[in-house]
Amino acid sequence: MTDAADLGVERTLVLLKPDAVARGLAGRIITRFEDAALKIVGVKMKHMDSDFTRKHYFDLEERAGSVIYNTTANFMQSGPVIALALQGVDAVAKVRKIIGATFPDQAAPGTVRGDFAHQTKPSSEVSGKAIMNLVHASGNSEEAKYEVELWFGADEQFEYETIVEKFAY
């Protein structure tokens, strides 16, 4: 029997940001992940407080500066988010492909951001508001491991077999 890790099965974190929740897009976005054979192994809705936001975006201020960190933190704390731990073959890369480029005006049609997000980088800079791009997704395998463990305890992640796994693995 082949081990799932040998097949490139991994877990990643996706956050449906406050704009996705407020616009009622959660179901439509989640469907795209499930259609791509990614299974939900953890899900929760949460208001991010300042301490948790700092843990999640622990390196953003260093990478991008305090203005971008503060803008992002304020946006992420403006409403509830839905956190998903997703599992599948090459889950990190697959999710990144499904959601599209960070800036909605650069995201291809057919991606989450290309279809549902409409803000441009210049409009964000002029308004001083965070990029409303609907979704956060782990950028690489190491980040995914950190983020999944931050958001979900072992008792909040579930093991089960989907029909896709039964026939594909």
Nearest CA-CA partner of 87 in 1, 16, 13: 13
Is 131:78 a contact under the CB 8 Å cutoff? no
Q: Is 36 helix (H, G, I), strand (E, B) or coil?
A: coil
Other CB atoms closer than 10 Å to residue 85's CB: what's the count? Answer: 24
CA atoms within 13 A on the CB side of 48: 24
Other CB atoms closer than 10 Å to residue 33's CB: what's the count? Answer: 24
Respond yes or no: is residue 136 known to be catalytic.
yes
Q: Is 157 helix (H, G, I), strand (E, B) or coil?
A: coil
| Bridge partners of residue 83, in order along the sequence | 15, 44
Nearest CA-CA partner of 40 in 159, 151, 134: 159
- Active-site position among 47, 56, 118, 136: 136
Number of residues in the chain: 169
Catalytic amino acids?
136
